[in-house]
Structures are given as C-alpha cells and as structure tokens.
Structure 1
C-alpha cells in the first residue's frame, strides 16, 4: 500500500507540474487575436494567480472534508482549534505544542517550544503574511519571462535554497549547517555560468505562433529579468521561512495551510485585480486609454479578443491546484527528503521538456551551468539523507534500550 501511494504521488507531481510548466511558458508568449491581424501577450498575472489560488483552496477544502476525522467540527477540520500548551513541570517543555519539524529543511530554528497560549488571530495573520508574499511574487516571476528564457527561469526556481536561507537568517535569526553554504556557492556559480553562456532570446515559441528573432537578448534585458527573478525568489524565500515558523508553532496539516493561504491569496489578488488602478510596473501592467483600469476587466477583454489563451489558462490553474495536493500528500506520508528528490528530478525534466516542446537551444556552457546547479542541490539531498538515516539509527537504539528495560 505504501509503495502504491508513493507511486501515485510521484506520478501526480510529475504529470501535474510538467503540464503546469508547459501552460506557464505558453502564457508568457503572444496570442493571436480573434481576427488574426495581431498578436499580444497576456499580461494579467493577478488574474492568472486568482484562478489558480481559487481552484487550489477548493481542492484543499474537498481533500480536508474527505480525509478529515469523522465527527470533527468544521473549525477543527480547518485547523482553527489550536492546542494550548500545558504548564511545564520541572523545567521540561510542554507536550503537543509544536510539530517535530521545527528544525525542518536541515536547520535549527532558534526557537524553544512555545509556552504562551496559541492565538488563532496570530495564525491567521501568519497565513495572510504568506499570502501577501505569494501574491506579490507571482507577477515578478511572470514579468521575468519577458527578459529571460523559460529554462533559465526553471533553473533559477530550482535554487530556492539560497533565498530561503537568506530570509530565514534575516527574519528569524536561524542558523544553518556548514554544508549549506557550499550548496549556495555551487548554485550561485551554476546560475552565473548558465546566464553568461546564454544565446537565445526569451519568449521563443515557434510551434505556437510566437515570433522571435533568435538573437541573444541584450545584457541589460538579462539583468532586468534576473532582477525580477531575484525578487520572486526572495519573496518565495520569505514564504518558506514563514511556513517553517507556522509549522514550528502550530499543529496544522499541510492541507490546512494550503487552504488558508490560497483563500487569502484569492482575496488579495481579487481585490488588487478588481480595483481601478493606474499603471504600476510588474504589479499592474495593463491599463486602458484613460490611464486607470481594472486588471480583471482588461483580462476579460483580452480573453474575448484572444480565445487561444483560454486552454493554457485553464490548464495552468487546474494542474497547479491538483499538483499542490500531491505535494502535500507526499510531504505528509513520506517526508521532506522524498519530496525534495521528486521535485528536484521534476525540475530537471521540466527543463528538458521545455527544450523539446518549445525548441529552445542551450549551449554547452549552459548545460554545464545547469549541471553545477543540480549537483549542488544533490549535495543537499545527500546530506539530508545521511541525517535522516542517522536519526533513525538513534531511534532504533533508543527503542532497543526501552525493550531491554
């Protein structure tokens, strides 16, 4: 049963996120108008994010209701009934107040087990903080694709360890194991090599009607794309560090976190998209002739004039929502090590699939840079596997001592 569950999780993560990646890249290139006389890019990143977060919170809610304990209250199913810490006896830490993954991702969080009452409002504010970072991060990632190629984007997103470490240090004063700094150095070197040897313009998709000269983008464009990607990764790092903090302080499941974060993301992006705002670089790039517009109104007008955007938009939102469920299912039953292995190999296949489907051309120097990056991430996975094995050996020895007693 465990093997079948793992096989289903791997198949789900691979299939959903490979299809998601294809749709994401398709959304970054121009679409022909309904009269066939022009082609334009779909710039409404907030509309795209709203569609995905709405479907994600629905899928998480359905999952929670199906897999939740029978007889449990609705607030309990949604993770709003928080366990309160017991009074410590003889200086010992209270039981049941923090998840055992308070040292997740291979680092110490620098926090002791909380002894003060857990606040529902504080938990919801933490979810809102995550959602704000996610809502702001998505437009920067989408905008970066106008300046860098999708394989570069995938490689950069594979290096999330760097901003996660940085934001953990800056926001929560956490410390990290020495090998992680080696991983960061390898990842940084690999990205530098990959971008230095790049020779292809972004948004190339000859098979789907997008035009491209094939010339290498100017260095200034690559710098702009790299800057947007860096902002996206920094915000992603803030999300991950905040999620670590939530798991360390509250007894919530991954699906409960997925539900509330996506609910908040939907509300935030819907508010931003519905308001008549002036032109704001990256965040609100679509405007009407008057200079003030609702992004959702512009998005709907674009969809009416460019019906080809509908299928990749639906594919992006649906596969992203279902893929998150497989991610959290894997995390719950098989742990973060298995999840890291799956996502690492998935991103490698995403790069290869993008090269094949959209006819990207990578130089030998870029393949070398990609190899350095994935080698660095593999070092992280190898060390984590050794740590997990060592902990299991210690646990088995402790169990043996207890049986002898």
Structure 2
C-alpha cells in the first residue's frame, strides 16, 4: 500500500511564513537586542551618582528572574503546567555555563570596547566545533575550519586596530580572557542543550528556558550572598534610581529577545535567524560607536567586514552550530 500523500500549503516566505511575520521577527529582534546591548554597555561603563554598577553577577541574576517569569507564563499557556518532562539535573551543566558566559559578557565591558565584544561573538564557531566533537561526536569539513580561521583573523585585525591608552595592556588582557571565557562557555551551553533535546525529545524551548534559568537563578543567588554582592547591589540601586530603570530594561529586553529567538527559529529556520542576528551585530557596533564615542579605524573596518562576510556565507550555505 502506498503511503498517504499529504499536501502542504505553499510557503509564503523563507522557511514558511509571511513577509509581514518575517518583518515582525526582524524588528522584534533588532529592537530587543539593540536596546539590550546599549543599556548593557551603559550599566557597565557609566558613572552613576555613587559610581559604577558594582556587580555583573547581579545583572545576570535579574535577567534570569524575569526570564523565569516569562518562560513560566509561556509554559502555563502552552501546556497548562509548570512540569518539565526531563530530570532537572540534566539542565545544570548548561545552566552553569550559561551563567558564566553571561557574567563574562558583562564583566568584559569594563576592560574592552562593546564593538570588540560584539565582534568576538562570531569566533564562537571555533569552540562550538570543538564542543560538538567532544560532547556530540560531530565531524566537520575542512571548509568550516578555514572559515573559522578567517573569522579569527578578522577579529584579531579589529582588536589590533583599536586605540589603546598607555598602560592598558594588563586590563585589556583581562578583558580578552573574559571574552574567551564567554565564547567557550556559551559554546558549551548550546551543545549541551542540543544533547538534552536529543535525550529528551518531549522538552520544548520554553521548558528548556525555564529549567536552565531556574538553575541559573539559584547559582547566581548563592554567589551573590556568599560574596556579599547582593546587599551591595541592592544598596547601590536604592542610591541610584536610574540604575533600577536600566536593570529593568535589560531584563525585559533579554526576555523578549529570547522569545523572538525561539519564535523566529521555529517559523523561519536557523539560517534566516543567523542572518538577522548578524545584521543586529553590525547595527549594535554602529550604535555603540555613536552613543559612546568609539572609533572604528580602517583596519578594524576591514576585519569586521571579513568576519561578517564569512558569517553571511555560512548562513546562506546553512552552516551553523
């Protein structure tokens, strides 16, 4: 007996969605993450009334709190329950790495420019490949290694082009080490989540978001209490009301950004999503340069163009994590 042929509706846009819906996703991602990036840099570099914000860990904590609320609402709406169909311990490793990557991302802004931090995210393809081989036994063609090398060269050119004040080499090295920590931990997160999805096919993106952020909230809370940063941060917020507003904006845009990520990937696929987010990185660098007075020199421009060109080629080809 021949299998029943089921007709499928014609696709109206990339990966199956209307152009209007694609525009909604594009502007939703851009607004969420451009706002998030701008305020993130502002929080970590601006002198408030009593000084700079004292704790990158508290920023991670507040983001996770809002993300849990949003994920829980989505779970209750979609499943009518807060139950996660997988052992909670399975989410702990990627939650730890996710917390470390977020902390490093915030802390690095004290030592390197936002533009360099943004561009360095493109180097994630290298540790993602390594983590894929280590955790999920993946193999990659030599073309991927060549593209990873070109991305590294482009980021290096951008880094060398930035003007550095005398005596800043030590702090700059610390910033670079934090960026390495961010990229490595973030790469582990995505590969471990892929592993959890394969082992537990009933887990959806909202349940993943909820479970990972629950672990992260607990971890960051313990860290804040143990280091006394929780009380220092709360005191700072009480003395600087403007910082409260900034923290709320960061947390809200981080949560809406995650929702747009999941929705865009589900409706239009990872290729379209990668192109949108690469465009966002370009906009973020331009916004940061204008808002905070960063200068992008000619050599840095060449490096940035090299990186974004490789990322676009990979996206069009379908290369990804």
TM normalised by structure 1 equals 0.71
Q: Which runs of 5+ in 2 are unaligned?
A: 1-16
Alignment partner of 1:258 is 2:209: yes
**Whole-Å separation in 1 of the counterparts to 2:168 and 2:42:** 23
Query: What is the match of residue 245 of structure 2?
Result: 311
Query: How many Å apart are 1:223 and its aligned residue?
Result: 1.9
Contact 1:64/1:255, CA 8 A, preserved across alignment: yes
Query: How many Å apart are 1:380 and its aligned residue?
Result: 1.1
**Whole-Å separation in 2 of the counterparts to 1:74 and 1:145:** 39
CA radius of gyration, larger in: 1
Query: What is the match of residue 344 of structure 1?
Result: 278
Query: What is the match of residue 333 of structure 1?
Result: 267
**Whole-Å separation in 1 of the counterparts to 2:231 and 2:93:** 27
Contact 1:140/1:229, CA 8 A, preserved across alignment: yes
Contact 1:154/1:347, CA 8 A, preserved across alignment: yes
Alignment partner of 1:44 is 2:55: yes
Query: What is the match of residue 248 of structure 1?
Result: 198
Alignment partner of 1:157 is 2:91: no
Query: What SS does the corresponding residue of 2:148 show, helix, strand or coil?
Result: helix
**Whole-Å separation in 2 of the counterparts to 1:140 and 1:328:** 24
Query: How many Å apart are 1:298 and its aligned residue?
Result: 0.6
* Cα distance change on mapping 1:325 and 1:171 into 2, 3 Å: same
Alignment partner of 1:378 is 2:289: no
**Whole-Å separation in 1 of the counterparts to 2:171 and 2:47:** 22
**Whole-Å separation in 2 of the counterparts to 1:73 and 1:27:** 37
Contact 2:75/2:81, CA 8 A, preserved across alignment: no
Query: What is the match of residue 14 of structure 2?
Result: none
* RMSD, matched Cα: 1.9
Contact 2:154/2:307, CA 8 A, preserved across alignment: yes
- 164-173 vs 189-198, which moves further: 164-173
**Whole-Å separation in 2 of the counterparts to 1:3 and 1:268:** 41
Out of 190, 203, 220, the residue aligned to residue 269 of structure 1 is 220
Query: How many Å apart are 1:219 and its aligned residue?
Result: 2.9
**Whole-Å separation in 1 of the counterparts to 2:90 and 2:167:** 40
Query: How many Å apart are 1:59 and its aligned residue?
Result: 0.9
**Whole-Å separation in 2 of the counterparts to 1:132 and 1:54:** 15
Out of 30, 43, 46, the residue aligned to residue 27 of structure 1 is 43
Alignment partner of 1:192 is 2:156: yes
Alignment partner of 1:4 is 2:20: yes
Contact 1:183/1:379, CA 8 A, preserved across alignment: no
Q: How many aligned positions are there?
A: 303
Contact 1:28/1:41, CA 8 A, preserved across alignment: yes
Contact 1:273/1:296, CA 8 A, preserved across alignment: yes
Query: How many Å apart are 1:178 and its aligned residue?
Result: 2.5
* Cα distance change on mapping 1:272 and 1:311 into 2, 3 Å: same
Query: What is the match of residue 8 of structure 2?
Result: none
1:14-72 deviation per Cα after TM superposition (whole angstroms, max 9, x unaligned) = 11111000111001113232xxxxx5221311211111111111112222333x2xxx5
Query: What is the match of residue 355 of structure 1?
Result: 289
TM normalised by structure 2 equals 0.88
Query: What is the match of residue 58 of structure 1?
Result: 69
* Cα distance change on mapping 1:217 and 1:365 into 2, 3 Å: farther
Query: What is the match of residue 231 of structure 1?
Result: 181
Contact 2:162/2:295, CA 8 A, preserved across alignment: no
1:62-99 deviation per Cα after TM superposition (whole angstroms, max 9, x unaligned) = 22333x2xxx5626xx441xxxxxxxxxxxxxxxxxxx
Alignment partner of 1:365 is 2:316: no
**Whole-Å separation in 1 of the counterparts to 2:46 and 2:287:** 20
**Whole-Å separation in 2 of the counterparts to 1:216 and 1:20:** 31
* Cα distance change on mapping 1:11 and 1:216 into 2, 3 Å: farther
Larger helix proportion of the pair: 2
Query: What is the match of residue 211 of structure 1?
Result: none
**Whole-Å separation in 1 of the counterparts to 2:20 and 2:145:** 36
Q: Which runs of 5+ in 1 are unaligned?
A: 34-38, 81-119, 201-214, 278-293, 388-405
Q: Relative contact order (C-alpha < 8 Å, sep 6+): which is higher?
A: 2
Contact 2:154/2:306, CA 8 A, preserved across alignment: yes
Q: What is the 5 A alignment of 1:212-227? A: 215=165, 218-227=168-177
Query: What is the match of residue 136 of structure 2?
Result: 172
